[in-house]
Amino acid sequence: MRSGQTYAARKLGQIRRNGGLYLLLLPAAVLTLLFAYKPMYGVLIAFKDYSPALGITDSPWAGFKYFEKFFHSYQFSATIKNTVVLSLYSLVTFPIPILLALMVNQMRPNRFKRFFQTVSYMPHFISTVVMVGLMLILLSPSTGLVGHLYRLFGAEAPDLIGSASLFSSLYVWSDVWQHVGWDSIIYIAALSTIDPSLYEAATVDGASRWHKIRYIDIPMLMPTAITLLILRVGGLLGVGFEKVYLMQNDLNITSSEILSTYVYKIGLLSSQYSFSSAINLFNTVINFILLILVNQLSKKYSENSLW
Amino acid sequence: MEAMNTAAGPAPKPVNNRSSDVLLEVALYVFAVLFLIVLMYPLYFIVIASFSDPSAVANGRVWLYPQGFTLDGYKELFKHDNIWTGYGNTILYTVVGTAIGLIVNISAAYALSRKDLVGRKFLSLFFIFTMFFSGGLIPTFLTIRDFHLYDTFLVMVLPFSVVVYDIIVARTFFQSSIPGDLWEAAQIDGCGNIRYFISVVLPLSKAIISVLGLWIAVGYWNSYFNALIYLKNPDLHPLQLILRNILITNQMQTALGSGEAAQIAMRLANMMRYSVIIIATVPIMCVYPFVQKYFNQGVMIGAVKE
């Protein structure tokens, strides 16, 4: 009891002494409370028949009506399938930045290497709007670069942007083009922390450069790679809105309608607030469960985890 | 970055000239050059197309250098006031938003980096939880409307200024680069937490301030989502939203109709697509090489796990 009291007193003293720290924390905490936690309370409208006049608290309960509506709608399987396809397809390209990092790590430190790195990061800074605009310009079958290339070989140019079957490829590979350099930085950083004596020992043992990549570089990258992979799998249903929405058109909509764009259309364009929130919540919960599951698996089998 | 690479390069200079090593070297550089071409050519093409006669571009005669050099695409930009309003708005949002973001995130990160902060674990969790769970689009939209922030200047710079990832990166930086003894010494001199943070910690943290400042600024410059959701008044629209109209929804073109005058107008609108990309992207591309090393540092700090 006594020791408990002194413990509490000590903590209290510490809090009082560090009052300034709480003041530093205050702006971020208030903003988070207002604009991240308050909307979490608003998630209730997914279970209600929300009417703006009554507000969140007073709107009548609807139970799981809107979830059932979504599960039974023809958009359910379509949006989920499209979202998962884009996610899994992106996941396949996960090793590409690793390959690039291994490659950069093999270059001798000189001007060319520096130039190479500068250029490879550059597309990362293009905005999504410009990126999609760039694709529309370059891939236009009549006036675009790709159209001219096809004609150069006497072929008729396909309408890549208006193709439902090519949508996922276009989305994923343009992402690789834009971010592969940037995504490789973290692996290059990890490679640069490898103890040079490992390479020296390998050289003495007669290892070739291939051997060093295979038996030193790749194993050393695994922890970083696994951590990033967990985050990616956790976001399996979290395909971002921005780029997909810009790439959508009437011709590719059957493969480009994903959960986040559907949530936007139902919610803000046709003002079905409760329905939209239900779809959104379903999405968030699945993501959350996936993240915890994958993290747990990784903890068990590889001693890597996020927390 | 460079120093680190030199220190831990692939191997001591290759003494053994194995044929497989030579083959690797050749393949490496051939691939590197191809990679550079694939990465750079689309960007280069936009630049030369923006200075070319639009019919030459449309007919596929522009490949390596501008054809029929002209500045018409750039002149056309000046006829559209909304582009320049958008440009001004974007600069304003970027400057104010970055200032707010830096203050909010850096000070929170410092507080969370201090081991003697009571409730540190809980407070960290309070922020981190929002990375993985959120109210979603509509509840957030309703919140913004309830606070009368919809369609205001403030909605573009304040509500979403807390970036938890940035806080974690900065917290890691403070933990690893600000020696704890400094605080003990300052305390003996009767220095309070806030004064210590401002006059001792911040001057030692230029690297992390640059990194976060640039990340945040690039984010504001390039984003269109918040503007799409929370702004209605066209006078508040940032550049990216106007770019979207020009490049993607083609609003400029469909409004023109047909006829000869319309055709000329359409030609100019087409040209403008290239020049508008250039003016929207050049500011960031110009700053970026100078600050590249800070960006890299930031990614590395972020990569360090506790």
Please state the ipTM of this predicted complex.
Answer: 0.89
Q: Which domains can be identified in chain A, with CATH numbers?
A: 2-58 (no CATH), 73-107+165-302 (1.10.3720.10)
Rounded Cα distance between B156 and B274, Å, is 27
Rounded Cα distance between A214 and B41, Å, is 32
Query: Tokens at residue A156, please?
Result: 């008729």
CATH 1.10.3720.10 fits B81-306, yes or no: yes
| pTM of this structure | 0.88
Most A CBs within 10 Å, among B45, B107, B138, B230, to test the A interface: B138
Rounded Cα distance between B61 and A145, Å, is 10
User: One digit per residue, pLDDT tens: chain A, 307 residues?
Assistant: 455 668 888 888 888 888 899 999 999 999 999 999 999 999 999 999 999 899 889 999 999 999 999 999 999 999 999 999 999 999 999 999 999 999 999 998 889 998 998 899 889 999 999 999 999 999 988 888 888 888 888 888 888 888 999 999 999 999 999 999 988 988 988 888 888 999 999 999 989 888 999 999 999 998 888 888 877 877 777 788 999 999 999 999 999 999 999 999 999 999 999 999 999 999 999 988 988 888 888 777 766 666 5
Q: Do A29 and B143 touch (CB under 8 A)?
A: no
Contact yes or no for B39/A119 (Cβ under 8 A): yes
Contacts of B23 in chain A (CB under 8 A): none
Rounded Cα distance between B173 and A24, Å, is 17
Contacts of A103 in chain B (CB under 8 A): 28, 31-32
Taking the CA of residue A81 and the nearest CA in chain B, the distance in Å comes to 21
Contacts of B123 in chain A (CB under 8 A): 25, 29
Contact yes or no for B171/B109 (Cβ under 8 A): yes
Q: Do B194 and A20 touch (CB under 8 A)?
A: yes
- Where do the domains of chain B lie? 17-70, 81-306
pLDDT tens digit sequence for B38-65: 999 999 999 999 999 888 888 888 888 8
Q: Do A109 and B107 touch (CB under 8 A)?
A: no
Query: Tokens at residue B91, please?
Result: 């600069």
Q: Do A45 and B143 touch (CB under 8 A)?
A: no
Q: Do B112 and A181 touch (CB under 8 A)?
A: no
Cβ atoms within 10 A of the Cβ of A185, count?
Answer: 25
Sign of CA dihedral A302, A305, B4, B5: positive
Q: Do A147 and B224 touch (CB under 8 A)?
A: no
Cα angle for residues A122, A177, A144 (degrees, 5° grid)? 100
Partner B contacted by A196 (CB < 8 A): yes
